[in-house]
Structure 1
Amino acid sequence: MKIKMAVQTLFMLTCFTVIASATNLRSEIKLRPDTTTTPDFSLIDSDGNNISISSLRGKVVFINFWATWCQPCVQEMPSINELKASFKDNDEVVFLTIDVDADLPKSKAYMDSKHFTLPVYAATTAIPRVFYYHSIPTSTILAKNGDMVWHVEGGKDYTSPEIRKILTDHIAGR
Structure 2
Amino acid sequence: MKNLLLALFLFISYSTIAQTNTDKTIINEIISKYQSHKSITFDINYMIKFFDNEKPIYLDSSVKIERDTNDKVFKSKFAYTRNDSMFQLIKYYDTENLYIIEHKNKKITKYNAKKKETYPVTGNIDGRVIDVYFSKINKIPTAINSPKNIKTFTDSVNYIIVKLQFPDEGDYYDETEQFFFNKELKVIDKITYSVKYKDQIQNNQWLLSNITFDTFNSNDLKESLQHYFNTYTLEDYKPLTKEDYKLLSNKSKAPEIKGFLYPNYTEETDLKFDKIKVIDFWYTSCMPCIQAIPALNQIQEEFKDYVDVIGINPVETKVKDQERIEKFLKRTPINYDILLVDSAIPKAYNVQAYPTVYIIGTDGKIKYSAMGYSETLHKELSKELKKLIKKSK
Task: Classify the secondary structure of the residue corresponding to 2:344.
Answer: coil
Taking a change above 3 Å as real, the CA distance of residues 129 and 77 of structure 1, as seen in their structure-2 partners, is: same
- Give yes or no for the alignment of 1:82 onto 2:298: yes
Q: Are 2:269 and 1:37 aligned?
A: no
TM, length-normalised to structure 2: 0.33
Q: Give the 3-state SS of the residue equivalent to 2:391 in structure 1.
A: coil
Q: Indicate the percent of aligned positions where both proteins have the same amino acid.
A: 20
Q: What's the secondary structure of 2:334's corresponding residue?
A: coil
1:101 to 304, 312, 315: 315
Could you tell me which amino acid in structure 1 is paired with residue 286 of structure 2?
A: C
Instruction: Please say if 1:159 is aligned against 2:378.
Output: yes
Structure 2: 5+ residue stretches without partners:
1-114, 116-244
Where structure 1 has 5 or more consecutive residues not aligned to the other structure, the ranges are 1-15, 17-26
Find 1:149's aligned residue among 341, 355, 367. 367
Higher strand share: 2
Given candidates 96, 104, 111, the residue that maps to 2:329 is: 111
1:31 deviates by 5.1
Offset of 1:142 from its aligned partner?
A: 0.3
- Higher relative contact order by CA 8 Å / sep ≥ 6: 1 or 2? 1
Kindly indicate whether the alpha-carbon contact (under 8 Å) linking 1:138 and 1:153 is maintained by their aligned counterparts in 2: yes
Cα offsets for 1:73-128 (capped at 9, x unmatched) = 1111111111111123x0x3111101221346223432233333122111157215
Pair member with larger Rg? 2
Point out the more displaced range, 151-160 or 63-72. Answer: 151-160
- 1:86 & 1:94 partners in 2: Cα distance? 11
Q: Structure 1 residue 139: deviation in Å?
A: 0.6
Q: How many pairs are equivalent?
A: 144
Greater share of residues in helix: 1
Of 73-82 and 151-160, the range deviating more from structure 2: 151-160
Give the superposition deviation at 1:141. Answer: 0.5
2:279 is matched with which residue? 63
Contact between 2:314 and 2:346, CA under 8 Å: does it hold in 1?
A: no
AA aligned to 1:98 is I
Task: Note the aligned Cα RMSD (angstroms).
Answer: 2.8
Q: 1:71 to 1:165 in 2, by over 3 A?
A: same
Normalised by the length of structure 1, the TM-score is 0.69
Measured in 1, the distance between the counterparts of 2:247 and 2:315 equals: 25
